[in-house]
Amino acid sequence: MSSKAVIKQSRKPVPLGLMIPVILLVVLTSLPLLYIVLRAQEAGLSHAMSLIFRTRVYQLLLNTLQLLVTVTLISTLIGVASAWLIERTDLPKRKLFNALVTLPFAVPAFISSYSWISIFPQLEGFSGAVLVLTLCNYPLVHLPVAAALRGMDPALEETSRSLGFSRAQTFFKVLLPQLRPALLGGAILISLHMLAEFGALAFLNYETFTTAIFDQYYVAFDGASAAMLTLVLLILCVGVIGLEILLRGKHNHATQRQGSPGAQDQVILGWTKPWLLLAILLLITLAAGVPLAVIGYWLLSGSSSAFHGQEVLSALTTTLSFGFSGALLATVFALPLVFLAVRFQGRLANLAERLPYFIHSLPGLVIGLTLVFFAIRYAFFFYQTTPLLLIGYAMLFLPMAQSSIRATLMQIPPQLEEMARSLGKSAWRVFIRITLPLMAPGLGAGLALVFLQIMKELTATLLLRPTGIDTLATKVWEHTSNAEYGASAPYAALLILISGLPVYLLTMRSFTRNTA
């Protein structure tokens, strides 16, 4: 029986206990839109329009789109090329290279940018932003494309070659259409990251909507102008998501794999192998080697590196505490949304499931401004408190928990729950005793993903953190903003270590599982 048929058979009235938290979450995730409406009303229509339609906004739009398109295109080319080299050629040490190529994913962009700026102060503006952000974001294409290549049916390429097509023709006519969903998904993620990026661009002195919004709020104290710039940014986010839907279409490129993972035909590189090996080593050196080497240098010889162990320990403890608490809250929020979407159907279920993905596409700065606005106006006791910060984290990273939990819940037959209910067990007891334990792998994966993202988050943390509380990310920002590179090095090193170890282990495990 198909999953659609199972869902249709399971359609039933939504329990009130499930409906209430879902409605609350829909309201919560709608706050950024409400924030824009309220600020526009306060400013007045004519003033709001004058803030939007001005030369500065046009320049910000040009800067933002120029960066978005350039970084996305170059990152996509690098990600596809690196994935193909590792998955389809006789490149040596492929397992190790797969882990090293994805290692930059664990280095926050603002840390990478300050590493480059500290040794090349002239590396500012558009060219510097393209270099640093490309090196930070290409793994977002490499990871899904590499996974798609590993999971692809080898018979497709064998059939193409048997029909007389060259390897190049096979790649463009057979492989590339099959890679389209993975490639497009990674490219869209990079585009959204470009709209949300703040810390790296602030260091590199390249102005986009996100940096301008931060300056208007924090430096000029002009909330109305910041809100109108936020509106334009929201429209750009909607445009990127709409473009993804348009490009993705309704085509299904999935194929059933026949044969073993090891059956893939490897391309013999021949005389090009040393040059391609050198190219991939250069990529790893620039993307991960430079930031790690610079941080190591400043740890050993930084002139501003008076090591304050208690401060470092406090920032580390706070980061871990916020990361775990925020991940737990996001997972708790995600449970009713996923359960409603999978076990029930209707407009509320569709809205509740999709709205968090739109919120996730917004910069942390927008979420921070939204929560600051409502806290100051309507719940001042909530302003600059840990619970408000954790709510911001949950809003930002809720879809990461959703996707992991949904994948697990979809594999649990609803008949198990129905049988337990027929034996007289309450819905709550069935959920606790049967459904929740079976969802443990998805819950764990969701917790880990959200935890890693929270530790690297900067802009929402700067706006929402309690007074006097610092994380590893905010301490890096504080010291590097004052050119105290040595003082920032311990915080940056710890942040990369905590983020990098899980990324490395997960990448190695995934590669081993798919190539064993």
Alpha helices in 44-175 (DSSP H): 45-52, 55-88, 94-102, 109-119, 125-137, 139-151, 154-162, 167-170
What pLDDT shows up at residue 322? 93
Query: Nearest 5 degrees, angle CA 25-CA 445-CA 437?
Result: 80
| CB 322 within 8 Å of CB 389 | yes
CA atoms within 13 A on the CB side of 433: 11
The pLDDT confidence band at residue 117, using thresholds 50, 70 and 90, is confident
Whether residue 10 is predicted with pLDDT greater than 80 in this model: the reply is no
What pLDDT shows up at residue 95? 79
Mean pLDDT over 215-223 rounds to 69
What pLDDT shows up at residue 69? 93
The ranges assigned to domains in the chain are: 1-30+305-483, 54-303+493-516
What pLDDT shows up at residue 488? 83
Whether residue 70 is predicted with pLDDT greater than 50 in this model: the reply is yes
Name the superfamily (CATH) of residues 54-303+493-516: MetI-like (1.10.3720.10)
| CB 334 within 8 Å of CB 323 | no
Whether residue 2 is predicted with pLDDT greater than 70 in this model: the reply is no
Mean pLDDT over 430-441 rounds to 75
What pLDDT shows up at residue 76? 92
What pLDDT shows up at residue 271? 81
Phi-psi region of 138 (alpha: psi -120 to 50; beta: other; left: phi over 0): alpha
What pLDDT shows up at residue 242? 78
pLDDT in tens, 484-500: 777 888 888 888 888 77
Higher model confidence: residue 515 or residue 285?
A: 285
What pLDDT shows up at residue 66? 94
CA distances from 310 to 333, 469, 496 (A): 34, 13, 19
What pLDDT shows up at residue 157? 61
Higher model confidence: residue 9 or residue 338?
A: 338
Identify any residues that bridge with 89 across adjacent strands, giving them in sequence order: 267
pLDDT in tens, 382-406: 888 999 999 999 888 887 787 777 7
Mean pLDDT over 427-454 rounds to 77
Whether residue 129 is predicted with pLDDT greater than 90 in this model: the reply is yes
CA distances from 139 to 37, 75, 99, 266, 506 (A): 37, 8, 10, 22, 14
Domain 54-303+493-516 in the same topology as domain 1-30+305-483: yes
The pLDDT confidence band at residue 123, using thresholds 50, 70 and 90, is confident
Output the average pLDDT for the chain: 78
What pLDDT shows up at residue 346? 66
Could you say which of 3.40.50.720, 2.40.128.260, 1.10.3720.10, 3.40.47.10 is the CATH number of the domain covering 1-30+305-483? 1.10.3720.10
- In this structure, which amino acid lies at residue 202? A
Higher model confidence: residue 108 or residue 350?
A: 108
Whether residue 173 is predicted with pLDDT greater than 90 in this model: the reply is no
What pLDDT shows up at residue 252? 47
Q: What Rg, from alpha-carbon coordinates, does the chain have?
A: 24
pLDDT in tens, 305-361: 555 778 888 889 999 999 999 999 988 888 887 777 777 766 766 676 677 767 776
What pLDDT shows up at residue 163? 64
